Amino acid sequence: MYKNLTIDFSRTSIYLCPLRWKSTVKRIDKILIANRGEIACRIIRTAKKMGIKTVAVFSEADKNALHVALANEAYEIGPSPSSQSYLKGRTIIETAKKFNCQAVHPGYGFLSENVEFAEDCQKEGVIFIGPPASAIRDMGIKSTSKLIMSKAGVPIIEGYHGEDQSVDNLKNEARKIGFPVMIKAVRGGGGKGMRIARSEEDFEEALESARTESQKAFSDSVVLLEKFVEEPRHVEVQVFADAHGNVVHLYERDCSVQRRHQKIIEEAPAPGLSWEVRNELGAAAVRAAQAVGYLGAGTVEFILDRKAHNFYFMEMNTRLQVEHPITEMITGTDLVEWQIKVASGEELPVKQKDIPLRGHAFEARIYAEDPQGGFLPGAGPLEYLKTPLPSEDVRIETGVRQGDDVSVFYDPMIAKLVVWGNDRFEALSKLKVKLLEYNIAGLETNINFLLDLANHGEFEAGNVHTNFIKDHEDTLFKNVALNEVQLIQAATSIVLLDKLDELKVASFKNDSFNPFTVEANFRVNYHHIRNIQLQFDDKEYNIKIKFLNKQGEYEVSCDNGITWTQVSANLDTKNNENVLVSSINGHRSRINVFRNSDILAVFDKNGKTQFVIPHITYSTEDDALASSSGNKAVAPMPGILDKLLVKVGDKVKKGDSLFVLIAMKMEYVVKATRDATISNISFNIGDSVLKDAAVIQFDEAEESA
């Protein structure tokens, strides 16, 4: 009865019709997810779509996490540090067997590229949803991978990949290569264990830092050296292979814009590439996968000359990448479903010629971090969280909800905002709009920075490279100046939020008609004036608001009553928003606002502006002296005190290293800001340290020396 049925594929959404298989070779109906956060939630979503049950594992810090709530079952595997929980391979395999899981999905990070874990899964009869251990081993050791790639005809950058890891030999090899050189952990990834030595004088400190970070992250301190290519582009190709000899690529992603050698915004396909270069990249990536007998999802990363478009193999990530959603958006695929099906023994559903490239996609990584403070990571509760509405061309990949904590123990990524458009211009326009709709308060994020980046003329033109942020520091990190409209909106918001609180109290007390409760600022035959005090960027502002009537009409002065501005305003409260609807000098606008006891956050066309609500505080003379004289070295972000490089009584010079913090799996060295003598150390190695905590005190006598 359906033989005359036709389908117009031009009208079929590529997002609603992912490519599928006909049957399953090995039955997988239950998966343990050996990960946390957004990637665990992402895997659960696809598993549910496929009718597969999921088991989540969680640490003590994650007992109330979103991935735990979404899974069919969950099991606690240890304390908060990842070394005692998410990296305990034997415990995870035992848990998988205990819950009768046929397979383990490692996500990315943690055990996803751990050779021993993949081997142990195979020994225990648990399917590892990833490549064979041999491929992980070959590609995980960068020196080995480059030899294999060279034999496979994949272009590589020359460097030192030898076994002699003595400092003298490495320094000598660096001289041969020529500075600047890149020092990279052979088992590294995600920017960890990676440092640039720009001169011979910098080399030993950079080497020690790279080794220490690599040892902590990968239990291996071996490094390789490469010539550092200034201003390259970072372009990577998504590959997929099955157990039947089929290997395909799903085009490339450009991940050039980075901070701390970590990606911050990605797009697919890479802007400005010809189809000739695109096909050459794809073919080289397929050769790379074939050379190691690959299986499943992998990413081959290349350094691309930004002008000539010559490319060189950098490394292969033998796992699903953080940025895989943009590939899914331009190809209409579900790569997690592909992973599960290939792991069960299925063939890939398509040949290379059948994989479409449609439109353009961006992914912006939303982090708890301070771009103005060197992108130092943050931690704490998400007191307020409002996201854009998901749709066919907008995805919110996250593992947190409002009220959840961003933990000091793990990566500070809050979410990934993914958008698709018919072309790059349309996709970028959507990204800008949706970033404005992503409202977070309670801790610092990089959303404003992402907005500035997306609106930068050179980024809009597609002129991206790995040095982009540094080259455009002056325009990306400009000082923010408040205007009068923002001050008026902020002050008016406080008045209306106070009124809303009064109404809530009155309703609770069943006293909604008492004018002394609900009309606190209204006076008969008198225009009450209220002073609102706010702080922004350490500057105090005093705004006067004159209440004209009960219909929301005011006069507002930002110059101590010299001039007044006519304002009408009301608060539109619904769902999780308090929207200030205001008319200022005839200009009508709608902005979202959030307030707690300490801050007021205003979300407008410029992003977030956060004010501090002043409180009366008291301090001792000693406190004032310590904070004003620079007699202490403080933690720039919350973290774990990993090393103390000085002791009480030591004399230090300006620039000397004092202590090392570990935060979000990254190492940070805090240095002296002046010549001083160490008078006190307030913490011990291994202690958790809050942001701005005074770790080391200096002798005051040195101040005048």
Under the phi-then-psi rule, with left for phi > 0, alpha for psi from -120 to 50, and beta for the rest, what region is 352? alpha
The residues facing 316 across adjacent strands are: 300
What's the maximum distance between 2 C-alpha atoms anywhere in the chain? 96
Q: Which residues contact 248 (CB under 8 A, 6 or more apart)?
A: 239, 240, 241, 286, 348, 350, 351, 352, 355
Q: Are strands 103-105 and 127-128 parallel, antiparallel or unpaired?
A: parallel
CA dist., res. 422 & res. 150, Å (int):
37
3-class DSSP assignment, residue 686: coil
Contact 143, 160 (CB under 8 A): no
SS3 96: helix
Q: Which of 137, 187, 211, 319 is catalytic?
A: 319
Give the Cα separation of 445 and 383 in Å (integer). 13
Strand 181-189, strand 30-33: pairing: unpaired
Residue 88 contacts residue 120 (beta carbons within 8 Å): no
Q: Is 211 a catalytic residue?
A: no
Residue at 662: amino acid letter: I
Location of structure tokens 């549910």: 48
Phi, psi of 631 (to 5 degrees): -90, 25
Going by their DSSP bridges, the two strands 607-612 and 632-634 should be labelled as unpaired
Per the CB < 8 A criterion, the answer to whether 131 and 296 are in contact is yes
Task: Yes or no: say if 117 and 106 are a contact pair by the CB < 8 Å rule.
Answer: yes
Q: How far apart are CA 199 and CA 104, in angstroms?
A: 45
Q: Is 606 exposed, middle or buried (0-12, 13-18, 19+ CB in 10 A)?
A: middle
What are the structure tokens assigned to 169, written together?
A: 């030999």
- State the Cα angle at 581 between 575 and 583, rounded to 5°: 175
Is 295 within 8 Å of 318 (Cβ atoms)? no
| Angstrom distance (rounded) from CA 549 to CA 555 | 10
DSSP symbol at 695: E
Look-up of token digits 């933990």: 407
Locate 299 and state its tokens: 């990413």
Q: Which is nearest to 319 in space by CA: 343, 284, 352, 354? A: 343
Alpha carbons 548 and 567: distance in angstroms, whole number? 10
- The pair of structure tokens assigned to 436 is 């404005």
285: region left, alpha or beta (phi > 0 left; psi from -120 to 50 alpha)? alpha
**CA distances (Å), 234 to each of 252, 523, 588, in order?**
10, 64, 44
Q: Which residues are CB-neighbours of 404 under 8 A, at least 6 positions away?
A: 64, 65, 66, 381, 382
8 Å CB contact between 548 and 555:
yes
Residues forming the active site? 319
